[in-house]
Structure 1
Amino acid sequence: MRSLGTVLLGLASIGLAQAARVVYDWNITYTTANPDGLFERRVVGVNGKWPPPPVEATLGDTLVINVHNSLDEPTALHAHGMFQNNTGWMDGPSMVTQCPIPPGYDFTYEFDIVQHGSYWIHSHYMGQYMDGLRTPFILHSKNETYKYDYDVTLPLEDWYHGQSHDNLATFLNVYNPTGAEPVPESGFMMHSVNSSLNFVPGKTYRLRLINMSGFSMFYFSIDGHDLDIIEVDGIETKRKTVKSVYLTAAQRVSVLVTAKNTTDFNYYMHADMNIDMFDQLPPALKTNLTAPIYYDASHSKFAPSEDIGMASDFDDLDLPPVLVEAAVEPDHQVNLTIDFQVTTDGINRGMFNGLPYLLPKVPTLNTMLSQGEHALSTEVYGPQTIAHVLKHLDMVEVVLNNLDAGAHPFHLHGHVFQIVARGPGVYTGNRSQAVWSLDNPTRRDTVQVPAESFTIIRFRADNPGVWIFHCHIEWHLESGLAATFIEAPDVAQQRMKLPQSFKDLCAASNIPAEANAAGKQGLDLKGAPSGIELIPDAFTAKGKGALAACVIAALIGMASIVWFAFADPEKKARNIMAAKQQQS
């Protein structure tokens, strides 16, 4: 695929003289908010306010975010969808590409903008973004492919009243054997249940839909209006007219909407939650969210509802990009089977290929850049980082077999990928099982894998570094549904050197900056996080012995019960009296 090369050429074409240094100063703080009007809670905001300010820049700029962590816990920021080519340490996921930012510490994220489109920035530490540390990240181009009059960012969010660490403690618990996720108390568009838009008749609006939820999938539509899709996850698409779209957690879709020529009616936008995702549906939860579009706010006459919600026939497998890129046969295949099972710690966890992801003791990127030739071995990254070493420039095919009864949104850091196939059941290699898209398949960075089915994606390993691949339902990521792609470690070591500020960040957290997954050198992995695995189906020798003892004890117990049940009660009483007289 030519995606990186293309955007770099685009960057060169705008001219260095136009580049700017865009600086944001973020003091990450606690504050309070009540965006759903139901419950005021502590949230994580920026500079004492919530929601955090949106971030905007232009292709060719350098973005700088100066962070001070005023929380009582660590934090880390991820610019979702950024390639971070040759700046992989700026990607953000804690203990993958950086040590977390400890409380009271200052840290700066700085990287060049070589993409344009709709993105978002969020915390990548322990479910923290569900406490509010998330915001749109809009990257403009001076030469947009499509023309419009107004540019509107429209985030979609689910909302919890409980703190994320409390909800995580409830979710990852031996008393939750089914793995039922915490269900949000509410949701809204544009940061509040009281949000609205105003349309000017005849004008064309670009609506940048961004699902910033931790769990929920949304179906979006506008009564009386068509939606013309022009972008998904930062990739411009050929214009396609639909009545509704769905966005799973972390996905973005830009649509053009042409306003009516009259002001006779106002209209409602709809964002309907996918209720299939919720194990239980709280009676008070409003899943059909609405927000008004006013043509004339002086009257309250609204057009009839056309909301169809989950009955939408939208298909994100058919969104061909403007820049045509045909799929090519893969050089390397990775098979990842998605499942949820109770593990040896008694907790129901998400996993790939029967193994949940566990954070290493040292960020994986630090390991790659510090362990020399050992970086070519998956062993050095630890037994449960689900590491896959990829060769430079290989075309990589990832087969995702979802055994779970729920759908899952998977996000690949550092890349966009082609969605080349889907089908029911488990993919066995028989191409007739799937519906294929090979001429110019949809490209994006987050894909929904439907329940009990498979999806096949492909990407070019053209970005040396460490890139996590994970479910973007935050509960599932924290439970272990993640893997790491260790991309071209030999090339990365030649091109990159970890900045001193990232080593200092580790020192501030008492974490080794140059070591393997166990915090040691080379292939000495003793002490690396491991041991949380599927409970074995077969009994061990000790297990067989314990089972036999239990069976024998149970048989003796049942025989005793039967004997006492049929014994002559009078004879038993005489025997007891005789025994007492002998003792006296």
Structure 2
Amino acid sequence: MRTWQLLATWVALFLDICQSKTIVQELNISRTASASGKQLISLNGEVSSLGPTIRVQAGDTLNLLVNNDICEKKDLQLYGDDYCNTSIHFHGLVLENVAGGILGALSDGVPGVTQRSIPPQMSYWYNFTVPASLEGGTYWFHSHSSVQYGDGLRGIFLVDSPTRDEYLGRVVAKLDADGTSGGLLHDLPAEPSSKLIHEEIMAVSDWYSRSSVDILKDVMSPTGGPDPRVEGSTVNGDQGSVNFGIGEDTEYVALRVINVGMSGTNVLHVEGHRLCVVETDGVLTKPYMIDTLSIAVGQRFTLLIKVDRDTARARMVHGCGKMMGYVSKTHWLTRPGTDAGEPFDGSFGDLPGLDKSEKYRDFVPRDGELLPAPSQQISLDYAYQSELMKEYNTGMYAVNGDTMPEFLPDGLGVLLEGARGVRDPIQLHSGQVVEIAINSIDHMTHPWHMHGHTFQVISVGHRNDGPLYFDDPGSAAMRRYLEDVSAWEGNVPMARDTINIPGSSYAVIRFNASNPGFWLLHCHVEWHMAKGLGVILAEGDAHVNAVANAFTRTQGIDKVEDAKASTEVSSTEVAGQPPAKDSKLKVLLVYLFIMCVFNAGVWYCFFARNAKTKPIYR
């Protein structure tokens, strides 16, 4: 039986490979305006502040053709290269390095770091394979050029997998059996529930009456501060109340919540219902019950909500953080024939369980273990420095005295090609476990995002705990850090790629520096990023001879229709080039599978079976 079980495993793996698809899509990026005259960036002709959803299975290959029509030549002088050029970053998606030397970093989408910008009237292919090892997760894509994504150059990126589906079914079975009380749920049933789960996407964001490029001019002026006034909020690009319709028989809703905003932390509460967290930033978690969720910019969650059949509607209270308080919105889960009710008019401070701090002790990954003690520890201090006015003609953020532009090469240089800026990237111990303490020398809360990694959150200080320096054993921050480290013995910390750091405090992240590339670690408040708040990390052997260039639309395969007409599209092509028409990798995998099955069959028929039936002679 064991032989046939092994064969069955190989067959399942082979079928999974064969079922992986090549998905060819197109993003036509242009400039448009809303009904009120606000300038927006349109994706595929839609007039919205949120673009399309790209949905793939783990193991699929994506060939995404990006056509940049934001500006014409006459617009360059008005808007500048930074706003007219563009690029696409797949936020939170960690791509594997392909055999043959192709780095996942080539599709990270950061101008000057992993690629050159896509100039106006030119195109670029992002070609990569979503790792088959992913359990499925919630991501998003956005421009990493200027402040374009606030004007609409952003969309949702979802990865599905059978593992995710089966796990959510087991959580549903647990909730059916035991209800929604308590915190962390243990001992999930082995068999998933057969109940259908209704899925909704809830992309939350702050909103401004002016376009981001106009606001940026003020932010970067000599008198401009780092935080323009938040004027409103949106859900899925809609400024009003959103109604999420559910079926008559729906008992469970999977809400994929993504903060795609420029600045504000958002909170979410569903009256009369508890929220079961089952994913943080693409990582499946052990089910944890909460009442009110806090979502920093760049963070993603999947929530399971149990809705009794006799509940006709459920009021969703949504707050978007602004300088003083929240922009309040009310949304609804409604069954057919049910109207929305009265809007929420209460105090957000009275919402049950409201806690804007990171629940790094509570959101536990479904699998994994604590990374070992680090071989390298780094402390990064960040603060707003008005004295940089002389150099930049505006106040800037600096990290250990350096601004993000100092890490970037001048002109058309790219770090992956060997170009360097005024400051070298921060070198990590390649292949080793690294800890970074990110210290806020600032009274504000900042959401920090790391490219190329999912990290473990080892410790987060309380507001006013002060900075953490690993050689300062007597500080309040160090005492809290050591307490957290001790608590992790036999436990696993929260895993994610974006974390909210309290003002005048710190956070410590731990990760394995085993992904070669140049990776950004930066605040995801876009106004702060524009003001220099971030660093670049150098990891492993990440040099390539040449990164791909954008191309004019008369070269090679320049339309999605041409690519779809191809019989196969290579999953190993370098980003920026039109995809090839055949896949040597898949052919090789099929050949290896056939040979493995043939050899296993021969071994079983002529050796294993005969060994059981022949008498033993002594």
Choose which of 273, 285, 288 in structure 2 pairs with 1:225. Answer: 273
CA distance in 2, matches of 1:165, 1:271: 27
Query: Are positions 1:404 and 2:442 aligned together?
Result: yes
Counterpart code for 1:313: D
Q: Tell me the residue number matched to 1:55.
A: 54
CA spacing shift, 1:44–1:301, aligned 2, 3 Å: closer
> Are 1:481 and 2:533 counterparts?
yes
Q: Which amino acid aligns with 2:480?
A: Q
Q: Is 1:174 equivalent to 2:222 in the alignment?
A: yes
For residues 40 and 310 of structure 1, do their structure 2 counterparts lie closer, same or farther at Cα, with a shift above 3 Å needed? farther
Any conservation in 2 of the 1:408–1:471 contact (CA below 8 Å)?
Answer: yes
Q: 1:388 aligns with which of 418, 426, 447?
A: 426
2:458 and 2:13 map into 1 onto residues whose CA distance is 31
**Bigger shift: 73-82 or 315-324?**
315-324
Give the letter for the 2:147 counterpart: G
Secondary structure in 2 matching 1:167: helix
Are 2:183 and 1:183 equivalent residues in the alignment? Answer: no
Indicate conservation of the 8 Å contact 2:147/2:526, yes or no: yes
Name the structure 2 match of 1:340. 384
Change (3 A) 1:101 1:360: same
- AA aligned to 1:447 is I
1:267 aligned partner, one-letter code: A
In structure 2, give the amino acid aligned to 1:197.
F
Q: How far apart, CA to CA, are the structure 2 residues paired with 1:187 and 1:464?
A: 38
Contact persistence 1:79–1:122 (CA under 8 A):
yes
Q: Distance in 1 between matches of 2:55 and 2:119?
A: 26
- Please give the per-residue CA displacement for 1:27-59, whole angstroms capped at 9, x wherever unaligned: 11122335xxxx442210112113421111110
2:61 paired with 1:69 = no
TM-score when scaled to structure 2? 0.71
Find the counterpart in structure 1 of residue 125 from structure 2: 108
3-state SS in 1 of match to 2:528: helix
- Opposite residue 88 of structure 1, the aligned amino acid is A
Change in 2 beyond 3 A, CA 1:504/1:391: farther
**What amino acid does structure 1 have at the position aligned with 2:253?**
Y
Q: Distance in 1 between matches of 2:143 and 2:444?
A: 25
Provide the C-alpha distance between the structure 1 equivalents of 2:207 and 2:428, rounded to a whole number of angstroms. 38
- Is 1:157 the counterpart of 2:199? The answer is no
| 1:426 to 2:453 alignment | no
Name the CA distance, whole Å, in 2 between partners of 1:67 and 1:329: 42
Contact 1:97 1:363 survives alignment (8 Å): no
Do 2:244 and 2:334's aligned partners in 1 also have CA atoms closer than 8 Å?
A: yes
CA contact (8 A) 2:459 2:480 kept: no
2:439–2:467 contact (8 Å) kept in structure 1: yes
8 Å contact from structure 2 (residues 198, 252) kept in 1: yes
Q: How many residues align?
A: 467
**% identical equivalent positions:** 26
* Alpha-carbon contact 1:223-1:305 (below 8 Å) kept: no
Moved more, 208-217 or 106-115: 106-115
SS of the residue corresponding to residue 268 of structure 1 reads: strand
Instruction: Sort the Cα spacing of 1:236 and 1:310 in 2 relative to 1 into closer, same or farther, 3 A.
Output: farther
Q: Secondary structure at the match of 2:529?
A: helix
Contact 1:224–1:303 under 8 Å retained in 2: no
- Write out per-residue CA displacement over residues 479-511 of structure 1, whole angstroms, 9 at most, x where no aligned residue: 00110111113xx34xx5545446999xxxxxx
Map residues 450-529 of structure 1 onto 2, 5 A cutoff.
Answer: 450-489=502-541, 492-493=542-543, 498-501=546-549
Structure 2 residue 355 is the aligned partner of structure 1 residue 313: yes
2:409 to 360, 371, 375: 360
**Shift in CA distance, 301/355, structure 1 to aligned 2, threshold 3 Å:** closer
Query: Is the Cα contact below 8 Å between 1:205 and 1:258 reproduced in 2?
Result: yes
Aligned-partner residue type, residue 207 of structure 1: L
Contact 1:410 / 1:448 at 8 angstroms: preserved in 2?
yes
Residues 12 and 363 of structure 1: CA distance in aligned 2, closer, same or farther (over 3 Å): farther
State the partner residue of 1:290.
330
RMSD: 2.6
- Match of 1:146, SS state, is helix
1:236-315 map, 5 Å: 236-263=284-311, 265-275=312-322, 278=323, 287-295=327-335, 297-299=337-339, 301=341, 308=348, 312-313=354-355, 315=358
Q: Does 1:42 align with 2:39?
A: yes
Quickly say closer, same or farther: Cα 1:89–1:300, change in 2 above 3 A: closer
Q: Is the 8 A contact 1:357 1:384 kept in 2?
A: no
Q: Which amino acid aligns with 2:85?
A: P
Of the candidates 138, 143, 149, which is equivalent to residue 163 of structure 2?
143
Structure showing greater Rg: 1
The residue matched to 2:370 in structure 1 has which SS? Answer: coil
TM-score by length of 1: 0.75
Report Cα offsets for 1:263-319 as digits up to 9, x if no partner.
4x52221221223xx2x78xxxx7012212213544555698787458603642121
- Residues 428 and 320 of structure 1, relative CA distance in 2, 3 Å threshold: same
C-alpha contact (below 8 Å) 1:230/1:236 kept by paired residues: yes
Q: Distance in 2 between matches of 1:84 and 1:165?
A: 31
2:91 aligned residue: 80
Distance of aligned partners of 1:402 and 1:299 in 2 relative to their CA distance in 1, 3 Å threshold: closer
Conserved 8 A contact 2:106-2:115? yes
CA displacement, residues 244-272 of structure 1 (integer Å, 9 cap, x when unaligned): 11111110011000112214x52221221
* One-letter code aligned to 1:352: V
For 2:244 and 2:17, how far apart are their aligned partners in 1? 37
CA contact (8 A) 1:75 1:124 kept: yes
The one-letter code matched in structure 1 to 2:513 is A
In structure 2, the gaps of 5 or more residues are 1-9, 72-83, 97-102, 170-195, 554-618
Which string of whole-angstrom CA distances, capped at 9 and with x for unpartnered residues, describes residues 174-211 of structure 1? 123xx241123211212211421123355211100000
SS at match of 1:351: strand
- Corresponding residue number in structure 1 for 2:283: 235
